[in-house]
Structure formats: structure tokens, C-alpha cells
Amino acid sequence: MADLSVQIHGLTFRNPVIPAAGPNVRDGIRVVEAVHGGCGAALSKTISVDAAPVPMPHMAEVRGGFINTELWSEMPPERWLATEFAICRAAADEAGIPLICSLGYTGQEIAQLAPKMNRWADALELSTHYLGEDATPMIEAIDAAKQSFHGPVFVKMSPLGREMRAAAQAAKDAGADGIVATNSFGPTFGLDVETGFPLLGGDNGYGWLSGAAIKPLSVRCVYDIAATVDLPIIGVGGISRGEDAIEFIMAGASAVEVCTAAIMRGNHIYGEIARQMGDWLDAHGYASITEIRGLAHKHNVPH
């Protein structure tokens, strides 16, 4: 079997498939499920300084994809710090894999949260979903995390109005240790034609698109980022099987995250996708996942 392990800044992922922040990792028990489901590293849902309100309904399947208006964790940070992170940490330690914790959003908020994470997290993932198009708030968030957190800090790119190459360069210049691309795309709007009501509650009925529909968009973002900065990239968007993940790795990612497919099919999916990646590498004569990383960039010649 091909070697699926991945090294990122001294952290060893047992395979490249990890959860993306979402309801699939909304509390300690779900993170335990993900670890038992074979994820290469564990990851916990984005927390911020307050509990998030929960618009209802906040998720809907649409043809070819999925829309949601879920915000960050509906549990306050105090609850995560008192109970949930300890559950996540114990599961990650038992499996011998790193724990990545997602935080949001502004520099001020990150400055409050990041120092408390040294006890629990091996790495941080900063969500930039509500920071707008200007790079300054993202840079402030990175600064705040780097000042008080001792491990690697990854920045997750939201595609709203962001030119990925410029954003990745700004993140690198600000000291980010890696880029996660991408978050969901939008805003979107979907209707129930029987009632004329929006499918989602919350802000105008707007939502964010994830799942299969966004995969080519996210792969393009990863491809552009890999061509721009020499940082580890974690690809995310529409992955539900081994070949999808292989595509992201060939575009330049070191690892991948999965959210929608885990919501739809369960937290055993990470191990399943990793096994499919291993089978694919074996069938194509590769000894390790690193042999195909960034392959697309070598093939990018005029034709």
C-alpha cells in the first residue's frame, strides 16, 4: 500500500484526509467519530468569542450541491475550553494524530482566543469568512494568532470577492504557515417552489454553496495558490471520493478537508476516501502521496 502519511510543519497526518469545519465536527463527540472514522488529523468546528445564533433552517441539499447558512459554533468558547477540546485532544492523542482547531474571526477576537489554545491545539485554522474583501482584517487575525499561539497557523480562504493569488501572498507575508482553500461559495439563494419560501432562514434566505458543484472552483483556487506561494496547502471543496482528493493533491495540495460529504454520509468517510486514495496510488504505480503533489504544474505547458 502506498504511503499516505503527510508531514506539515513537523506534524504527521496519518493520511491526507481530514474533516473541514462544519456540523460534522460540531462538538467533542463528533470529533471522536471523525478520528474513529479514519481522518488523518482531527479538526474542530470554528469557535468565536460568542456562541453563534442558529438560523432555521440552515442547511438544504440542492441539485449537485448543498447550501447552508450555518455560522460558527453555537456553543460558547467557555464550553469548548471546559469540556469539548479535552475530548478532541484525548481522541487525537489516542490515534497519534494532530488536532487542528478552527477560530474566527477578527484580530481582536483571535487575540482573545488564541492564547487559550496552546494547551489543546497542535495547529490553528483561522476562518476569514466574515472578514470581507480587504486583506487587512485577515492580516490582523494572522498577527494576533502568531503572537500568542506556538504552533503552525493556517488561514482558510473564503472565496467571496477574494483574488486567491493576492490573498495567499498577503497571508504568507503576514506570517501564515499554510493556506486552506476554500470555504463555501456565495452568497446563493434557493427557493421551495411549492411555497415560494426561501430554503434557508437567516440573512435574507442567503446561503453558501458547498459539495460537488464547487469542486472545480476550489481546485482552481488551490492551483493558483500553489503557483503563487511556497506554503503547505489544504484543499477543500466538493470532495467525496478518493479521485476528488487526488485531483486537489495534483493541483498542489498536501492534504484535503471534507465537510458536505461527511454531513451526507457520516464521519466514516475520511478513512474511506483515504483508502480509495491508497488504492488509486497503488493502481497507478506510485509509492507515496508526495509523488503526485503538484503534478498539474509540471504539465502546464501550452498545448
Ligand X SMILES: Cc1cc2nc3c(=O)[nH]c(=O)nc-3n(C[C@H](O)[C@H](O)[C@H](O)COP(=O)(O)O)c2cc1C
Question: Which residues would be at the binding site for ligand X (CB under 6 A)?
Answer: 20-23, 45-46, 59, 66, 68, 70, 72, 102, 127, 129, 156, 183-184, 210-211, 214, 236-239, 258-261
Compute the least distance from the CB of residue 57 to ligand X, in Å: 11
> Residues of 275-303 as b/e, b for ≥16 C-beta within 10 angstroms?
bbbbebbeeeebeebbebbbebeeeeeee
Compute the least distance from the CB of residue 204 to ligand X, in Å: 17
Compute the least distance from the CB of residue 288 to ligand X, in Å: 24
Peptide bond into 16 cis (omega under 30): no
* CB-nearer residue toward ligand X: 14 or 215: 215
d(CA 100, CA 82): 17
Peptide bond into 77 cis (omega under 30): no
* CB-nearer residue toward ligand X: 139 or 256: 256
* CB-nearer residue toward ligand X: 4 or 17: 17
* CB-nearer residue toward ligand X: 72 or 270: 72
Burial class (CB in 10 A: 0-12, 13-18, 19+), 17: buried
Taking the CA atoms of 141, 142, 144 and 145 in sequence, report the sign of the dihedral they define: positive
* CB-nearer residue toward ligand X: 160 or 261: 261
Compute the least distance from the CB of residue 125 to ligand X, in Å: 7
Compute the least distance from the CB of residue 128 to ligand X, in Å: 8
CB 300 within 8 A of CB 48: no
